[in-house]
Amino acid sequence: MSSGEDRLIATYFKPLATAQGALGLTDDAAIYAPPEGHELVLTTDAVVSGIHFLPDDPPETVARKALRVNLSDLAAKGAHPAGCLLTMALPEGTAETWLKCFVAGLQSDSRLYGCPVYGGDTVRTNGPLWASITAFGTLPRGTMVKRAGAKPGDVILVTGTIGDAALGLKLLQDPDHIEQWALSHDEAAHLAGRYRVPQPRTAMAEAVRVLASAAMDVSDGLIGDLAKLCDVSGVSARVDAAKIPLSVAARRAFATAPSLIEVIATGGDDYEILVTIPAGKVAAFRELANTAAVPVTEIGEIVAGREPLQVIDVDGKQLAFAHGSFSHF
């Protein structure tokens, strides 16, 4: 009397349910209790084929992106991953090999980040394939870092490099850019890889939790996301465009086409952490980042007032962007 969905669960998803409370995905629900003195941080994000990933992206990277965009939120709040629930919709005729590879990608990241699957739902769709993940993490009660909390004088830093994923998407959509931007094969692959597989900064969660006045992950574009952080913090910011950290590949693309600064600064899909640190704690933050082997870069400072944030170019002129932030709407 086993249904098709039960077979999919038993074959593909059960191996991901390594936590005891997941009950091997044989029940209606799972059990979880945070450690003593801790609380849960909850987030949810979905990826849709043709919107958040390309229909011919490898299934392993689709799975990893679906999980990692959630892990990025947890890291930016100072939380450590504890588990997730996965809902996915499969169009009629989805190959079992596709699903097998998707699960392999999820399993590898689930182990890497210590984020087992606690439950899920598998549904049919007559539209594009999608996966929706709800992830939960833990941290000591009352210590979640919010977007609100940035104070004038705080230093603004970001992890990693900005703009790679947005450039990577452009490349994947139009490979002519590789030549136009004078990129090597490796550089092009780097940018595409950054679009397909974000690097959630889980290793920085503790440093963020202990030292940041405010933080968020950069998912909709650096400038737009910083504007959101400033808005809920009741402050403004001054960003030095020349300090925005670029990868070698992004730097080369930008050198051939300086107008790409807009794509870089507002394109989205970076999944780096944007953080504000009181000036006196920046050295400590840098030290923890160094220990975690995560590059961090100062890009500006928080200023008083509620004016739109200022992005200053190398020549001292203020940059204006048509779109501050990336949105599918």
Question: Which range, of 24-32, 196-204, 236-244, 251-259, touches its own copies by CB under 8 A?
Answer: 24-32
Let me know: does 273 contact 203? Beta carbons within 8 Å. no
Q: Does 189 bind its own copies (CB under 8 A)?
A: no
Least distance from C-beta 282 to its own copies, angstroms? 22
| Those residues with Cβ within 8 angstroms of residue 101's Cβ, 6 or more apart along the chain or in another chain | 58, 59, 60
**Residues 270, 164: contact at Cβ < 8 Å?**
yes
74 sits near its own copies (criterion: CB under 8 A): yes
Residues between 310 and 329 that touch its own copies (CB under 8 A): 324-329
On whether the CB atoms of residues 325 and 263 are closer than 8 A, the answer is no
Distance CA 250, CA 248 (A): 6
Site string for its own copies, 27-46 (x = CB under 8 A): xxxxxxxx---xxxxxxxxx
Contact code string over 78-117 relative to its own copies, x by CB under 8 A: -x-----xxx-x----------------------------
User: Site size for its own copies, by CB under 8 A?
Assistant: 74
Contacts of 125 (CB under 8 A, 6+ apart): 89, 90, 91
Give the nearest distance from C-beta 194 to its own copies in angstroms: 20
Interacting stretch for its own copies, rule CB under 8 A, among 22-30, 107-115, 151-159, 299-307?
Answer: 22-30
State in Å, rounded, how far the first CA of the chain is from the last one: 44
Q: Is 26 in the site for its own copies (CB under 8 A)?
A: yes
Amino acid identity for residue 276 in this structure: T
Identify which of residues 290 and 327 has a Cβ nearer to its own copies in the complex.
327
Single out the residue of 154, 164, 217, 272 in contact with its own copies (rule: CB under 8 A). 217
Q: Which of 4, 56, 185, 283 binds its own copies (CB under 8 A)?
A: 4
Report, in Å, the least distance between residue 307 CB and its own copies: 12
119-138 residues in contact with its own copies (CB under 8 A) are: 119-128, 130, 132, 134
Q: How far is the CB of 64 from its own copies (least distance, A)?
A: 18
Place of tokens 């029940």: 27
Site string for its own copies, 148-187 (x = CB under 8 A): x---------------------------------------
Distances (CA, A) of 167 to 173, 196, 260: 10, 12, 8
Q: Is 237:300 a contact under the CB 8 Å cutoff?
A: yes
Contacts of 102 (CB under 8 A, 6+ apart): 59, 60, 62, 63, 131
